[in-house]
Amino acid sequence: MRADGIIELDSPFARQLGFTGDKFDGYLWKEGNYIYISAVISKKPKKGNLKRLFRRIQELGYGIKVPTPLGVMRVIVKKYGFKRTVEFFRIANRIEEPVEVWVKEASE
């Protein structure tokens, strides 16, 4: 299994996911069995690239988490059946803050 941490555009693992610079800007983050999508911009909106990215992540056995989706991303996560949850993130190794995270399990 791939190590946790940032997934840079066009890295070998990113290419395996379909997360390439011709389709997206930004980065992904892997934590355990989940891929976080929090800093991603589609270069070609409404072409199905995000949908294919979601599908490929799940095909590889990972769940998807989207922290605090705004605007169009909130509409997308609702449309694709993500479930709203709350996680607590450690800030400066001291304070835990609640963060809204929308989740889609690998098996869904």
pLDDT at 57: 97
**Residue 59 structure tokens:** 């095909």
pTM, full prediction:
0.90
Mean pLDDT by 10 residues, the chain (108 residues): 88 95 95 92 92 96 95 93 91 80 92
pLDDT at 3: 87
pLDDT at 100: 94
Domain residue spans in the chain? 5-104
The CATH class for the domain spanning 5-104 reads alpha beta
